[in-house]
Structure 1
Amino acid sequence: MSDFSPGQRWISDGEAELGLGTVLNCDNRMVTVLFAASQETRTYSTRQPPLTRVVFGSGDRVQSTEGWQLIVDDSKEVNGLIVYIGEDSQGHWRELPEAQLADTMQFDQARDRLLTGQVDRNDWFDLRYRTLHHHQRTERNPALGLSGPKVDLIPHQLYIADEVANRHAPRVLLADEVGLGKTIEAGLVLHRLLLSGRAERALILVPDSLSHQWLVELLRRFALDVTLLDEQQSQAHGHANPFESGQLILASQQWLFADPYRQQQAEACAWDILIVDEAHHLDWTPEHTGPGYACVERMASLIPAILLLTATPEQMGLTSHFARLRLLDPDRYHDLETFKHEEQGYVRVADAIEALDRLPVDDGEVAQSDYDAITTVIDDPDSQALLDILTTTESDEQQRASARSQLRDQLLDRHGTGRVMFRNSRRHVAGFPERNVHITTLEAPAAYRRLLRRLERDEEYLDELLIATGLDHPEAVLYLDAMYRQLHAQAPDTSPWWQFDPRVNWLLERLQAVGKEEGSNGKMLVITHHRETALELAEGLRTLEGIQAPVFHEGMSLVERDRAAAEFADDETGCQVLICSEIGSEGRNFQFCHHLVMFDLPPHPDQLEQRIGRLDRIGQQHAIDIHVPVFNDSPGERLLRWYRDGMEAFGAPTGVGSELYDAFGDALADALLNDEELQEVIDETHSMYQSRLREYAAGRHRLLEHNACRHDRAQTVIDSIRELDDDPALPRYLDRALDVFGVDDTSLGGDLIHLKPGPQMLDGLPGLAKEEAGFTATLSRQCALARDDVQRLSWEHPLLREIMGRILSGTMGNTALALLKHPAIPAGRLMVELVFRTHCPAPKRLHVNRFLPATAVRVLLDESGINLTDKVSFNGLSKNLQKVKKAVARDLIKNRHDQLREMLSNGEREADRELPSIVEAAQTRMRKTLDGELIRLQALARHNPSVRPDELQALQDERSALNGALDNTRLRLDAARVIVTVEQEER
């Protein structure tokens, strides 16, 4: 059957993707083959053509051109063609000539590819097995979805992400104080939902001014490819729905809320999760619903999972707070007056928890007031029994500790809005640095003084200036360099402002002093309000002292900003100073620096806090030194006094700055040129500031703060993440994978490597398009956090996930043939190494991989049927194997065809013996996890109406569906390697 005859079926060894070919004609020299499925025709020499005859054997399933299938039992040859004999799906015996085999038959299964002589490289086979092993390991790790993002391991953020992302269709309010990382928490939740398959499409609505910050944050921290949608982009899609243009859509609230047509398009899409930032600005009262609130309310009724991000909930009042909760669960939060009554009771629960924390750990006396505070909120026998253990002298220390923990969790679970809202404050989160403000008062230069004197004398002059310069009030009087620049824009002989502005020389002196500090890297971040000021200040430093200061502003591309930030971050060769504009500094982490210069002051308290927040971050190793130069008796100095004396804005974030600005911003603007009016504004501001702080300290949401981070659970999550961070297998696997996929890696020192496309790189790898220069990466979390331009490689990085996904979903490495030289094994012996893989068909939303990821079952058989799996390890065998040419491999397989079929069948029987124990272990893990959570939620639902009935039902349905899916788990052959022994060479 080795001679060519028209009608025979062959496949191309070098182009297996062409599919099943049919010999059209042949002579002594040439053979022509039609590959009908790919509509290609090839002509080959009959001398050693790169073709393999397709021959099926007993047990193989084949398909006819008419669509019916046959399980082969026997075959016969008629005029050089094979006729297959077997049973069809109806159990009828039929014959199928090979010429009538379906052209679309695919040879992608390991068994088919092996028996048709299609073998891959041995290093591909090794990589496939290791990929399956590591995929199984990492998918079951409880840190899945939380370990990959480029974030610090901060307990409260990880606790919230773990708690929320584990729920069915989570609908929660993230309300941490400013600076505690709400955006990171939302990103972590989204990242885990995407990786676990519980979400595929997300709509993210943010204020227009934060669109870029969110885009950068999601890309750099979470490696999420987000589509930023605006009107221009939408129009480019013509009549198509622009919200269908990506899986993750980021859009401006102002744009969407103002356009009913775009709202209809957004509502017409199927989303899995909606994220809304700055949700406290959505306008709702019992009498009026704003357009933004109405839009989100409609979408919240259609989308199963909702994350609302908001400032401190009290900031906008209790009615506004109720309005956010109403979006999450309108059935639970349906009446404002009822909610107000419930809120009054939460203070008692907070008092009870704090009393519980005060109870002695030994058998000391319990204060009656603490005991009474706890008993007033206990309403069931279980909780009373736990309190009895805590207060009886017969209990030992361990019993008391366990009872305290259980009772605390019960009170937090059963009372308040803790299941739908998370709020952390700085007083409960450690790791923030001190802030030291250094104010320097300078005399304004003559050019500025002349402007200020005329403004103070002539009220109409301000209007003239606003018209002449195009500046807005109060910015026109705050930024004297900008006013000077605008007034003299048409006078080319006028000196630039930096030549006479004393702040420039003051900055040069500060740079010199900071550079001499011991224990400091001498770096200084300078922020100005206007881009032009930043650019001209950099020019002044270069001209006056030869200082090359990179500038970072909103007019630069992402690559340009990265370059500037990287130059600033480099300790060895980087620059000492970076000059940023207001918008250009948004969202960036410069915590390696602790000197901040506010060359001018921003007009809004939120911008002031945002500036400080570039350096004041959890994990900052130094106190923050804030340097503020101001001109004596100027609008800038008066603004400083309002910030410092009215709201103590330089000390710590309070979350009330926006509220104070809304209340006094107009009066402040009018008082910037009048000292007497200013003091009245400062006094009123400070009075309101203290009042708001007293309200918050009184504890309307103290209960929430107790519930916002459970440290034992947070530590468990952190330990799981560190286990993956420190996984020694990751760098070894990465080296092998990059080599196989043709990616060049170059060590740059300091834990950094540069990845770039190699000459033979396989297409489609994230960040490694062949026309691009690649990217710099690291395995170190700390190194990645210090460098915005460096990507962090982990098991969850898109490059690793693409490589692993491509291997596991394709044919790469699922067949191989190797030679084994061993003195104890006679030459010519045959072995097969088979890797079977569990297959558990289930919807992605069930995330079955938590309990049973694709699991490898390895079987090593010799030709006599002996199972050698336990005697010969995968690593031990692999390092002794030698490669063989493909032509030789095909001949070996052809000569041992029948023997190989039998060995494959024996291997299947051996593997099937392992399946029951694998399934049973997975079911045990599933029941332990879900049964415990179900019991907890059922008990909780009897006390806390925040547990939605659909959440309970969804968990019961999930358990049932998972149980059925696990029962249907089967094994299938994933990869097969033939091993032939050869004689040991004499030394």
Structure 2
Amino acid sequence: MRKLQQFAIGQRWLSDTESELGLGVLIDVDERSVSILFPKSDETRVYARNNAPLSRIIFNVGDSIQDQEGLDWIVEAINENHGVLRYHARRIDENGQDVVKDLNETRLGAHIQLSKPLERLLASQIDYKEWYDLRIQALLMQAQMSRSPLRGLLGARVGLIPHQLYIANEVGTRLAPRVLLADEVGLGKTIEAGLIIHQQLKTGRSERVLILVPDSLQYQWMIEMRRRFNLQFSLFDLTRTAAIREHDPYLNPFLTEQRIIASIDLMLDHPDLHEQAIEAGFDLLVVDEAHHLMWSEQEGGNDRYALVEDFANKTAGVLLLTATPEQLGVESHFARLRLLDPQRFDDLDRFLEEEEQYQQTAKIAEILMSDEPLDSQQIQAIEALLEHDFTDEPEQRYRAIHELLDRHGTGRILFRNTREAIQGFPGRDCQPVALPKPEDWNTTGKLREQMWPEEQQLDGTWMETDPRVTWLLEALRTDLKHKKVLLIARSGPVVEALENALRLHAGIRTAMFHEGMSLLERDQAAAYFAEESYGAQILLCSEIGSEGRNFQFASDLVLFDLPANPDVLEQRIGRLDRIGQQNRIQIHVPYIEGSAQERMFRWYNEALNIFSNISPTAQTLQENFIVELKDCLLSDLSEKFEALLEEVNQQRQLLEQELQEGRDRLLEYNSCRPKVAQRIVNALEDYEDNSLVPDFIRRFMSSTNIDFDEQSNGTVIIRPTDQMQVQGLQLDEDGMTATFYRDQAQAREDAQFLTLEHPFVESVMEFINTQSFGSANVALLKSNAIKPGTILVEIWFKLNAIAPKLLNVPASLPKQLIRVLLSENGQDLSEKVASHVLQPYIQHLDNNNARQVIKARREIIEERYQQALDLVKTQLPQIVQDAQQHYQNRWQHEIDRLNFLKQHNSGIRQDEIDRLEKLKQEGLAALQQVNISPEAVRVMVSVKP
């Protein structure tokens, strides 16, 4: 069998990255994309033609092939017609009759086996002992991972933060999740969304993902998905879509990629692109900044709301992200819930009535969560809600809380964690620096010229008279001398001018981070800044520095200028004010006295209070008073400005008080059940403490001539070489810096985090799955208990059930791998002698002697192999029966739970239950078709120690 790469309808192809889909058939092809139908798993994939991860499968004369009826044939001749093959094949039927048939490759069965260990062994294609051991270890690791509840959570470069992992696990394991993520700023909504996306993709629950964001956040999301989750998203803007359509006017651009990030404004400005994106279809829609989706009962939704509603109605899974779920009014909050479940949230008045009822439920839950004893009236209220008896005991309280949480109205659809509930934030202090105004300072020009005059002089001459530069130089030599300092300014040229002055004229160790640099250069700058002893003292960032990167190890922030938008200012501060910050953040704000800069500082500080605390109302208040604010910024209208500051400050306090009073503590508890969250954290820590990945990858690289260099700082540099003995791995020509340790991966943004879910490790596993690597070996077995010259035969079989990935059928198999160990005379030693017991006594045998062993014992080896296959086949019916029972129980438990909850919580969707039932039946049917494939065979020759 060989592989080819030319496309024609009807050809059979194998996915290089998803071999579990079985053998696919090419059903459509054009200049940019190919569509492959995988009949066995009932999946269709659309791939970009120029980089499709596909292998064309062509069988050779003498190969065994299987047709769609499951009959085996031997290929005798091959003909080709317009790129599609016709096999002339022969078989002996059940009556012993010789049958000849011509089989088009379209009639081949979907199951394919790439490795034939026995044939390779008998042909003396013998692998190294280390390769054989690596193959077995890889198969065992994959089998363990398929059963792990941590699938999809392992590979992300994120801290093990309980509330984030809780939400990711709760939402990511659902089929077609539709939820509103509404954590406060700094608690990691983007990370939560990324974890959910990652888990959905890794488990097969989603394949096609569309992320809709404001223009300013496109690159942040693209970088975040790549940097933290190893997910490659394509950014679709007008230039890209136009280029695709220019090349092929009839091609839908949104069918050329599986994972896409696009601007909401792009869709609004170009309705044809909106229609094409809808037509292309996605499994999961993610919408950031969802508070911009406005709606009222009288006027309906704004254009953004209508656009997202169109997508939400046609997309199974929807994630909406907002830090302020009720900031813009209860109507808009209801409307966002309505986007997620229009049947459940179809009437605003009824929603308001239910919310009042849930407030009562929340009050009872608060009483249960307190340590105070309950009186008889409270117990009666609890019993009325639970509809069964209740006694005031710790265990009963715990159960009652969780029953109320499961029944809570928005508990399955809305997740909101607050800083007050999560805690662990040291706080922040503002350090204003008022500087005297130079004589020639502009106080009458346009607002841009008054606020950011340095941007008008790109040659850098502004630095000679700007007092902020002098202050910065002095501060870095004195008060900030031994501290890590993050500086953010609006533009790249300003950052470059400042960095040049600090490095060349003041001898300060600096690093730079701006949009003109490549991702690699930014990574290197961030890593240099992160180094404790010899790293940069200051990292100077343009506005892009406030997007997508976190520097919690630093606690001093210099705002060289102030942005015009309070959300952008909060993003800047949020680079340091995040979970994991150990110190109070010091925010240094230099400004020119008597200028628009001072007035902007006072607006943020005295009206919006944004430097001291996160202000959930800041953006709304600024939008409401934007006209008055601009007038005051442009001219020194002291009396009017003072009145404005006082009025907005009072409104802010009232709004914040209303938000505090409206806090739903039951919802907050439901958004992070501490004991459940901690169990997830503990499970991840235990897995990583006992992970076999570091040892496995080191051995694999060493045995295949991949260059790797262990560094003293806990990283490893991996590079391809000309002598590499494997191909097709996810490894760039320039190599990569990586680490096996989560803490190190978080501290060093240039180091990739190697886990079983990293693309490089996945490509190693896929290589082993689809190639013959390590599948045949002959070795020496040092033993006094076995007569010298006697052989033992070890065969590993894999149980395969081809089905859509989201069903995770293999996890229900009690055994995915079966090892059979037979003595030369056929005694079954499988249970008596474990693999790990033999391992220390097995040694390498050179190829010449190994070939002699095969030649001399060929007949016995074939007999033992057939005996092993028969032994496994006798086990198969019981394995299938046990697997079906386990699979039935696993899915039925969730179906029963949702049916019960549906009686009390109308937030449970019937379509969700129906789909679970359908998938349960599909999985049970797939388990009926479990087949056996040999994965590896080893012959061991006994010798004296």
* Residue identity opposite 1:87 in structure 2: I
* Residue identity opposite 2:654 in structure 1: S
1:556 aligns with 2:517: yes
Distance (Å, rounded) in 2 between the aligned partners of 1:569 and 1:55? 57
In the TM superposition, 1:23-422 aligns within 5 A as 62-65=73-76, 87-88=92-93, 91-94=95-98, 108-237=115-244, 238-239=247-248, 240-286=251-297, 287-358=299-370, 360=372, 365-367=373-375, 370-371=378-379, 374=382, 378-382=384-388, 385-386=389-390, 389-390=391-392, 400-422=393-415
1:689 aligns with 2:658: no
Deviations 1:361-400 (A, max 9, x none): xxxx53467557646xx34533xx13xx11xxxxxxxxx2
How does the TM-score come out when normalised to structure 2?
0.86
Give 1:430's aligned residue.
Answer: 423
State the secondary structure of the residue aligned to 2:286.
strand
Distance (Å, rounded) in 2 between the aligned partners of 1:358 and 1:311? 27
Deviations 1:794-824 (A, max 9, x none): 1211111111122123322222222334444
* Residue identity opposite 1:118 in structure 2: Q
1:503 aligns with 2:463: no
Count residues with an aligned counterpart. Answer: 861
Question: Which segments of 5 or more consecutive residues in structure 1 lack a partner in the other structure?
Answer: 1-36, 42-52, 68-83, 98-103, 391-399, 456-461, 467-473, 490-494
Give 1:546's aligned residue.
Answer: 507
Question: Which segments of 5 or more consecutive residues in structure 2 lack a partner in the other structure?
Answer: 1-56, 66-70, 79-88, 102-107
Distance (Å, rounded) in 2 between the aligned partners of 1:701 and 1:669? 37
Distance (Å, rounded) in 1 between the aligned partners of 2:263 and 2:162? 31
Aligned partners of 1:348 and 1:373 also within 8 Å: no
Distance (Å, rounded) in 2 between the aligned partners of 1:340 and 1:223? 42
Aligned partners of 1:503 and 1:599 also within 8 Å: yes
In the TM superposition, 1:570-585 aligns within 5 A as 570-585=531-546
* Residue identity opposite 2:597 in structure 1: G
The alpha-carbon deviation at position 850 of structure 1 amounts to: 3.8
* Residue identity opposite 1:757 in structure 2: P
Distance 1:841 1:85, change over 3 A: closer
Distance (Å, rounded) in 2 between the aligned partners of 1:597 and 1:217? 24
The alpha-carbon deviation at position 926 of structure 1 amounts to: 3.8
Aligned partners of 2:284 and 2:318 also within 8 Å: yes
Distance (Å, rounded) in 2 between the aligned partners of 1:668 and 1:370? 51
The alpha-carbon deviation at position 185 of structure 1 amounts to: 0.6
Distance 1:85 1:212, change over 3 A: closer
The alpha-carbon deviation at position 712 of structure 1 amounts to: 1.2
Aligned partners of 1:142 and 1:717 also within 8 Å: no
State the secondary structure of the residue aligned to 2:737.
strand
Distance (Å, rounded) in 1 between the aligned partners of 2:551 and 2:113? 54
The alpha-carbon deviation at position 534 of structure 1 amounts to: 1.6
Distance 1:918 1:682, change over 3 A: farther
State the secondary structure of the residue aligned to 1:864.
coil
Aligned partners of 1:422 and 1:708 also within 8 Å: yes
Which of the residues 794, 818, 822 maps onto 1:861? Answer: 822
Distance (Å, rounded) in 2 between the aligned partners of 1:66 and 1:642? 82
In the TM superposition, 1:642-653 aligns within 5 A as 642-653=603-614
* Residue identity opposite 2:97 in structure 1: W
State the secondary structure of the residue aligned to 1:870.
coil
Distance 1:888 1:783, change over 3 A: same
The alpha-carbon deviation at position 610 of structure 1 amounts to: 0.8
Deviations 1:181-200 (A, max 9, x none): 11111110111111111111
Choose 675-684 or 879-888, whichever is displaced more: 879-888
The alpha-carbon deviation at position 221 of structure 1 amounts to: 0.4
* Residue identity opposite 1:650 in structure 2: F
How does the TM-score come out when normalised to structure 1?
0.82
The alpha-carbon deviation at position 55 of structure 1 amounts to: 12
Distance (Å, rounded) in 2 between the aligned partners of 1:154 and 1:691? 32
Distance 1:904 1:431, change over 3 A: same
Choose 959-968 or 313-322, whichever is displaced more: 959-968
Choose 889-898 or 413-422, whichever is displaced more: 889-898
Give 2:720's aligned residue.
Answer: 757
State the secondary structure of the residue aligned to 2:578.
coil
Deviations 1:720-748 (A, max 9, x none): 21122212422211212222343211111
State the secondary structure of the residue aligned to 2:449.
helix
Aligned partners of 1:85 and 1:93 also within 8 Å: no
The alpha-carbon deviation at position 516 of structure 1 amounts to: 5.2
In the TM superposition, 1:864-879 aligns within 5 A as 864-879=825-840
Deviations 1:283-313 (A, max 9, x none): 4334344333333222222221111112311
Give 1:720's aligned residue.
Answer: 683
Choose 138-147 or 529-538, whichever is displaced more: 529-538
Distance 1:666 1:848, change over 3 A: farther
The alpha-carbon deviation at position 132 of structure 1 amounts to: 0.8
Distance 1:303 1:91, change over 3 A: farther
Give 2:33's aligned residue.
Answer: none
Give 2:478's aligned residue.
Answer: 513
Distance (Å, rounded) in 2 between the aligned partners of 1:826 and 1:39? 43
In the TM superposition, 1:809-848 aligns within 5 A as 809-848=770-809
* Residue identity opposite 1:324 in structure 2: R
Aligned partners of 1:141 and 1:720 also within 8 Å: no
Distance (Å, rounded) in 1 between the aligned partners of 2:333 and 2:619? 16
Deviations 1:954-985 (A, max 9, x none): 2233333333434543433221112233x548
- CA-based RMSD of the aligned residues comes to 3.0
Aligned partners of 2:386 and 2:403 also within 8 Å: no
Which of the residues 705, 710, 713 maps onto 1:742? Answer: 705
Distance (Å, rounded) in 2 between the aligned partners of 1:856 and 1:214? 40
State the secondary structure of the residue aligned to 1:204.
strand
Distance (Å, rounded) in 1 between the aligned partners of 2:202 and 2:90? 46
Aligned partners of 2:607 and 2:646 also within 8 Å: yes
Give 1:481's aligned residue.
Answer: 454
Q: Which has the larger radius of gyration?
A: 1
Give 1:675's aligned residue.
Answer: 638
State the secondary structure of the residue aligned to 1:268.
helix
The alpha-carbon deviation at position 94 of structure 1 amounts to: 2.2
* Residue identity opposite 2:453 in structure 1: L
Distance (Å, rounded) in 2 between the aligned partners of 1:729 and 1:700? 45
* Residue identity opposite 2:639 in structure 1: E
